Structures are given as structure tokens and as C-alpha cells.
Amino acid sequence: MASEEQRFPSVGMGEDCRYTAHGLLGSALQVDEWLVHLAFFRSAGQRYNGNSPEEHMASLSRRRASRTL
């Protein structure tokens, strides 16, 4: 609920929605009123891009290691 949302025109149909929050990154594809795809990942921390900190997604091996069955 506390994430920041940015929307961009999708390459195909709909809008590309991107979400950032402390420790979390996500994206969704929305076409009309439907969410076609939604994915969220834990971020690995912050990196700096110019003057502002930027979250980045954890590596694939780190995301796999954190799965619970």
C-alpha cells in the first residue's frame, strides 16, 4: 500500500505499471480494467544512480533460495 507507482504505455496493449517500496519491487500489465500479469520481488538493497538511491531486484539465485514450499 505504501509503494510508489509509475505508469508507462506498454509496447503492445495496455499500460506497464511499476511499483517500488522499501525492500520490494514489482510490475504489472494492465489492459483496460484487467490485470494481465503481476509480479513482485524482494529487492537486494539500494544502489545509487546519480544523486538518488535506487532499489534493484535480488539475483535469481538469491530469489530461489528464499522460496518456501
pLDDT 10s digits, 42-64 = 877 655 454 555 556 566 666 66
| pLDDT of 48 | 42
Residue 65 predicted with pLDDT over 70: no
Residue 29 predicted with pLDDT over 80: yes
3-state secondary structure the chain: CCCEEEEEECCCCCEEEEEEECCEEEEEEEECCEEEEEEEEEEEEEEEECCEEEEEECCHHHHHHCCCC
Q: How confident is the model at residue 24 (pLDDT cuts 50, 70, 90)?
A: confident
Domain that holds residue 37: 4-65
Confirm if 46 and 33 have CB atoms less than 8 A apart. no
| pTM recorded for the entire structure | 0.60
Q: Considering its fold, how many domains does the chain have in total?
A: 1
